[in-house]
Amino acid sequence: MTIAFVFPGQGAQTIGMGRALADAYPAAKAIFDEVDDALGESLSRLIWEGDIETLTLTQNAQPALMAASMAAMRALEAEGVTIEKASFVAGHSLGEYSALAAAGSISVADTARLLRTRGLAMQSAVPVGEGAMAAILGLDLETVRAVADEAAQGDVCQAANDNDPTQVVVSGTKAAVERAAVIAKEKGAKRAVMLPVSAPFHCALMQPAADAMAEALGGVEIKSPAVPLIANVRADAVTSPDEIRALLVEQVTGSVRWRESVQAMAAKGVTEFWEIGAGKALSGMIRKIDRALASRQVGTPEDAKAAAEA
């Protein structure tokens, strides 16, 4: 059995995530304390006792989901499972930062600050209401790319997330994405669902955020990860700190090639994926990509104990 550790992206956040881990494992509680210290505020109180609307704000959700993932990693370590159990790490969009923190490439404190910067920069890149994203269900990537090209009409419309064989997300200006939803249904999509997001992530409209991240990442130490990262925009293994830095900048405007990333790991021998942190969205995508692949969630003390015994 060859394992990859994968880390969720935005949308997986819930009030209370990680609290049972923090209560059960001092090292998990220390992660939330470290993130609070790095941000100069009690993000943990928001995560555990706040309201979901405030937690879902991009600048909060991004470091919060990383904290929950790293708390789960510390729980695994307390149960005797280290990062070397995995042959690869990967994460969906912001989850790539969690993957790098788990692999020791970027410190937890730096990762928290980077994700706060990333969230604020992505939110401010496009005025609220001017951008949108839509999930196109039932069309393949090439068809959705053609839909996005047809819908653009001088605006921005791009395939942003290639999640699995049944779902590709488009991102861009609101009018273009709405056109894409109509065109997709005309071309046989089962559904085209406008997503409740506050900004059009992973498209050219995010260039101001990419510029902000280039500056922020330039001031952070990045080490070679303990195990290779399968990068979102390349769907292949990366270990060079300079390449990781460049790809994290490119990721802001580039597509999340999740389907190809999972296929790449499977081709390299991975047979089981451990979803580290909140939710199980990635496990659902992985099943649709290849039903022969196994998955498990690690988000509670019980999950950590069961994984250690597996």
Q: Which residues are catalytically annotated?
A: 93, 202
Q: C-alpha dihedral over 112, 114, 119, 123, to 10 degrees?
A: 160
DSSP state of 256: B
What does the angle CA 229 – CA 205 – CA 209 come to, to the nearest 5 degrees? 55
- Please give the radius of gyration of the chain, using alpha carbons only, rounded to the nearest integer: 18
**Nearest of 158, 162, 182 to residue 172 by alpha carbon:** 158
| Helix orientation angle between 108-125 and 207-218, rounded to the nearest 10 degrees | 160
What does the angle CA 257 – CA 159 – CA 255 come to, to the nearest 5 degrees? 35
**Who's near 196: CB < 8 A, 6+ residues apart?**
none
How crowded is residue 106: how many other Cβ atoms within 10 Å of its Cβ?
A: 27
CA gap 73, 290 in Å, rounded: 25
